[in-house]
Amino acid sequence: MPEEILSVALWEPNPQMEATALATFHELTSIVAAKGYGRDHLYREGDHHYVFLRYWKSEEARRTAQEDPDMLRCWAKLGNEIQIVKVYERLSAVPLRDSEVAGQSSPWKSEPE
């Protein structure tokens, strides 16, 4: 089974474009879901920055989506609607539980008394 790929974008809307940008993100998210590319989540920090998370289904889905005309159209629209603060194309999980790290103990695990 292919491993999901997490991408993160931090962005802020251009002046007077917040509602338009959110509508475009809604359209983009609908395309991603309908075509099975992955799943999206959008969060907001205060009243300024947005944090957009995309869990790509696989590397193949990611590559296909990056060439999809519907996706490209949405990203072109967003170019006029938002300012990107930072993008993380591929984040890797860091194991935190003992079961995820063979032979290593968790720094948060309490020792028996």
Question: Measured between alpha carbons, how far is 12 from 53 in angstroms, rounded to an integer?
Answer: 14
| pLDDT, tens only, 34-49 | 999 999 999 999 888 9
pTM: predicted TM-score of the whole model, two decimal places: 0.80
Check residue 92 and report its DSSP letter.
-
How would you classify residue 97: left for phi > 0, otherwise alpha for psi between -120 and 50, otherwise beta? beta
Q: Kindly tell me the burial class for residue 82, based on how many C-beta atoms sit within 10 Å of its own C-beta (0-12, 13-18, 19 or more).
A: buried
Res 109 pLDDT > 70 = no
pLDDT of 104 reads 56
pLDDT of 110 reads 52
Lowest mean pLDDT among 1-5, 58-62, 77-81, 99-103: 99-103
